[in-house]
Amino acid sequence: MMVALAAVAGLTVLVYNQLDITTGGGDQVVSGDGTTIVPGPGQVEVHGALAAALIAGAVLEPRDVPTPLTITSERGFGNGGELTTVEVDGNPSTIVWDGGRPLTLSSGGALLLDPVDLVLAPAGLQALLGGGNHALVPGTYRLDTPVAVGQEGVATPRDAVTFDAVEGSLLEARGDASVTFAPDAPRRFVGPGKVLLTGTFEITDDDGTRAATSLASEVSAYDLTFTPDGAGGWTVDGVVEQAAVA
């Protein structure tokens, strides 16, 4: 867990350094709170309505996703995941979920997301969890999904289970496991990664302010906030380094 936290902290520091985010003097990059965004050299400010989005290596700020929480995955093909270093009935255990049915954490603490890829889906902003080790905040959780609970090499099917997360408890997500953020609250993401956005935007950069319908970058720093528009869609505000616009 400490390795994961250190990696996320490193990503965040890298992004803040690249974007020159400060609390006084110089360029300010503040998304979604009404503060004027002033792009620095090589930076592109974007504001407008989203039609499609793909963001790579996104770090949710803040990282926690509280319960109740639903994670989805198709059955098979290496999908699903495991809850590791947890305790069931006081015993060290691993909980195995093979997808097919949503993994529903109906109560408990929160999931701290590792960097994820983000896409705009019909149901909302979809964070792709596969390949990440996402930490569970210590506490007691209720899982209302059929799973297999392994203790000392023996796995027992259960229709639901209550478990305790401790320091080091993880959701080790596989394949297409994902969580979808419904359009009910702003979501801020930072990172270095690939950014592809389409929609109806106002762009500000070294050349001034103009209209655009797309923004794309390769592995660049970004700080983007997605806000529900009240009609089931999203708007975007933020800054991307070295982005091409059209």
| pLDDT computed for residue 38 by the predictor | 56
What confidence tens digit (pLDDT) does each residue in 145-161 have?
999 999 877 889 999 99
Span 208-235, average pLDDT: 96
Taking CA atoms, 89 is separated from 59, 107, 193, 195, in Å, by 34, 17, 42, 44
Res. 26: pLDDT tops 50:
no
Q: Which residue's entry shows tokens 């700080």? A: 223
* Chain centroid offset of residue 189 CA: 7
| pLDDT computed for residue 169 by the predictor | 98
Neighbours of 34 (CB within 10 A): 6
Residue count (the chain): 246
Res. 244: pLDDT tops 60:
yes
What confidence tens digit (pLDDT) does each residue in 41-94 have?
789 999 999 999 999 999 999 999 999 999 999 887 789 999 999 999 999 999
- Give CA–CA dist 231/201, Å, rounded: 18
Res. 209: pLDDT tops 70:
yes
Bigger pLDDT: 16 or 42?
42
Res. 10: pLDDT tops 70:
no
Please give the DSSP secondary-structure letter assigned to residue 72: B
Tell me which residue of 4, 35, 6 sits closest to 21, measured CA to CA: 35
Res. 102: pLDDT tops 60:
yes
Q: Residue 143's beta-bridge partner residues?
A: 105, 161
Taking CA atoms, 199 is separated from 46, 216, 244, in Å, by 11, 12, 14
As a whole number, the mean pLDDT across the chain is: 86
Bigger pLDDT: 77 or 213?
213
| 35 class by beta-carbon count within 10 Å (0-12 exposed, 13-18 middle, 19+ buried) | exposed
By the 8 A CB rule, do 81 and 220 touch? no
SS3 for 217?
Answer: strand
| pLDDT computed for residue 107 by the predictor | 98
Bigger pLDDT: 109 or 42?
109
Bigger pLDDT: 4 or 195?
195
Query: What is the reported pTM?
Result: 0.82
Span 183-207, average pLDDT: 95
| pLDDT computed for residue 143 by the predictor | 98
Tell me which residue of 174, 176, 173, 151 sits closest to 161, measured CA to CA: 151
Phi first, then psi, for residue 103 (nearest 5°) are: -85, 110
Report the sign of the C-alpha dihedral through residues 160, 185, 233, 19, in that order.
negative
Res. 39: pLDDT tops 90:
no
SS3 for 14?
Answer: helix
Q: Where are the domains of the chain?
A: 2-60+186-245, 65-114+122-181
- Give CA–CA dist 61/201, Å, rounded: 23
**Within 13 Å, how many C-alpha atoms sit on residue 144's CB side?**
9
Please give the DSSP secondary-structure letter assigned to residue 206: T
Confidence of residue 6 (pLDDT cuts 50, 70, 90): very low
Q: Which helix (H) or strand (E) holds 197?
A: strand 187-205
